[in-house]
Structure 1
Amino acid sequence: MARLPDMEAMAIFATVVETRGITAAAKALSLSPPTISKALARLERRLGTPLFHRTSRRLTLTDAGGELAARAGRLLAEAEAAEAALLEQASSPRGRVRLTAPMSFGVRAVAPLLPAFMARYPDISIDLSLTDAMVDLVAEGFDLALRIADLPDSSLRARRLRPIRRVAVAAPAYLDRHGRPEHPSELMAHACFGYAYLQTRGAWTFLNDEGEEVSVRPEGPLRVNNGEAAMPALLAGLGITDAPEFLLDDLLESGRLEQVLPRWRRPEASLFLLLPPGKLQPARIRAVADYLTSMLVKRPSGPPPMA
């Protein structure tokens, strides 16, 4: 197996050439002269040829050293330029940010926020991926995620932005035909639409003001992996579904949908902003995270701390 180049020794060699001596190179690199000499000797052993003619007063390049010097100088300059670019990117908002969010929430709540962000940060590009599936941020290379859940993955850093209510609803026409249930257990006699990514695996849990908790597993003719996909059948009066409030507010206000079991409530989930493990984040990721927090957090709670 081929060995990797000794880039450290190559950089030290290029600095010795540039500064015209071991002592000056040691000062430039904040290293000791013996460390510089050892690196040069290591490089010469690896290459099998001397790179300098050494006298008590000066170093001069051999033919091999002269041939290597130009290439080593270019390598060092490119490495310094690459490092400077990455350091600048880490300290100033610039570059690509990969963000994932639930499909309907992303379309309704996240996408409308992007134009103002893009105008504010023209050097940041956002790669927005919308899916209701539980994405593995680390494995799939995402920088940020918005997730609606009861609890976030404990291996991730999380900001809780705001509660998200879920509401059981149906079209008035359906309830007129099939009756309005008064207890969660009565849902078992109704056509209920399921959601594939429900964390409770198909169970609908309800609470009332008296502290009673009831869980049921209703069934019906439709199961979807995106809540908005159930809306046409719901509005057609074909069943009952359970959905987050941001999908329902306008429909409830207009009377096209009616809340089922109004004396009962579903346990609240929360909207979280998730980041992969690790404390250091480039400026571009911090800019997106802080902007989304400021726009999506429920007021007047203020910016939530990182967990």
Structure 2
Amino acid sequence: MTDSSDIRFLLAIQQNGSLIAAARKLGLTPSAVSQRLQQLEKKLGTRLVDRTARKLIFTEEGTLLCQRGSELIEQFDTLMEDLRVRHAGLVGTLKVNAPLGFGRRHLAPVIADFQQQNPDVDVALTLSDQPLTEAADRFDVVVHIGELRASNLVGHAIAPNARWVCASPAFVKRFGQPEAPDDLTRLPCIVLRENNEDVSLWHFSRGKTSRSVRVASKLSCNDGDVIHRWACEGRGIILRSEWDVADAIRQGTLVRLLPAWRAPDANVIALTHNRSGLPRRTRDFMQYLQARFRPLPPWRT
């Protein structure tokens, strides 16, 4: 019969890809790792890993033990943490990934306040222009804006967020107001590159009518703050989230275009690996995050 330390040992080999890398991670010698693996296989009466000169190949039994074992380890760790929390409050490390602009402006203050209220929780925030393409298993929470493609992650609603076509007053004075989405194909536009999406194909609807247009963009960037600034400078039209442009529209530095046409919403959601069995710190952070954006998010107040 094996125990949790044996499962953690085998998972370390799988996650690091080689006995040498696993040895470094575990603080052991490669020979000690190899010997322990042999002892584990002997105890279970089955081969778990086929070792070749170039790589390790997990057998079906080894793969099954890692898959089911990782679930058991997660449940065990969650149970132990919940017991500690009952005695001492929230503890541990919370890893969060989020888009660059939204993370800077709206998420960073929330995280700082949450950590201040829970001083025994360490929060590691990573900002990225492609949060969904990174190794999601490295994070407890991934904040995403917009439609979620097929994913094994669980989505939690955070806040509503529309998308608007905008330009500066000077740009509108120079080029005029577009009257329909097709007009955008003849005007300079600026696009935001993120999540490997087809960013120059813009979709609109009005009632039962749908329209998709391919815009011409001489300027593009992976940072929303940059394209926002370019638009304010009159360099082109942007299709941007409400959370980013609502203040600029109220202040008059940007003007909303095509108000009768609706672009697909890009609601803010938070993604976790499971709906149940989450560590207490993750559950409490999710509730705190949702509460901070209700009843109305800051861009609608």
CA shift in 2, pair 1:83/1:189, >3 Å:
closer
Structure 1: distance between partners of 2:110 and 2:163: 23
In structure 1, which of residues 201, 204, 224 is the aligned counterpart of residue 202 of structure 2? 204
Q: C-alpha separation between the residues in 2 aligned to 1:84 and 1:188?
A: 57
Q: Work out the CA distance in 2 between the residues paired with 1:105 and 1:275.
A: 18
2:135 and 2:194 map into 1 onto residues whose CA distance is 20
The reply on whether 1:111 has 2:78 as its aligned counterpart is: no
Q: Confirm or deny: 8 A CA contact 2:97 2:139 kept in the other structure.
A: yes
| TM-score, normalising length: structure 2 | 0.67
DSSP 3-state at the match of 2:156: strand
Q: Rg larger in 1 or in 2? A: 1
* Residue 6 (structure 1) shift: 7.7
Task: Kindly indicate whether residue 254 of structure 2 is the aligned counterpart of residue 257 of structure 1.
Answer: yes
**How much has 1:151 moved relative to structure 2?**
2.6
Q: Residue type of the partner of 1:206?
A: F
List runs of 5+ in structure 2 lacking aligned partners: 1-33, 44-76
The question of whether the paired residues in 2 share the 8 Å contact of 1:224 and 1:230 is answered with yes
Cα displacement string for residues 49-75 of structure 1 (whole angstroms, at most 9, x for unaligned residues): xxxxxxxxxxxxxxxxxxxxxxxxxxx
**Alignment counterpart, residue 2 of structure 1, candidates 35, 45, 48:** 35
Q: Map 1:198-277 onto structure 2 (within 5 A).
A: 199-209=197-207, 211-277=208-274
Contact 1:205–1:267 (CA<8 Å) still a contact in 2?
yes
Distance 1:84 1:256 in 2: 52
Q: Is the 8 A contact 2:188 2:236 kept in 1?
A: yes
Select 2:117's aligned residue among 91, 107, 120: 120
1:89–1:95: 8 Å Cα contact kept in structure 2? no
Distance 1:138 1:283 in 2: 22
The secondary structure found in structure 2 opposite 1:222 is strand
> How far apart are residue 5 of structure 1 and its match?
9.8
2:221 aligned with 1:190: no
Q: Quick one: distance in 2 between partners of 1:105 and 1:84? A: 33
Distance in structure 2 (CA, Å) of the matches to 1:298 and 1:258: 26
* 1:135 is the counterpart of 2:132: yes
**TM-score for the superposition, normalised by structure 1:** 0.66
- C-alpha displacement of 1:191: 0.3
Contact 1:146 1:273 in 2 (8 A): yes
The alignment yields a C-alpha RMSD, in angstroms, of 2.9
Deviation at 1:205, TM superposition (A): 0.8
SS in 2 for 1:243: strand
Q: 1:162·1:298 contact (CA, 8 Å) conserved in 2?
A: no
User: Equivalents in 2 of 1:263, 1:224: separation in Å?
Assistant: 27
Q: 1:90 to 1:185 in 2, by over 3 A?
A: same
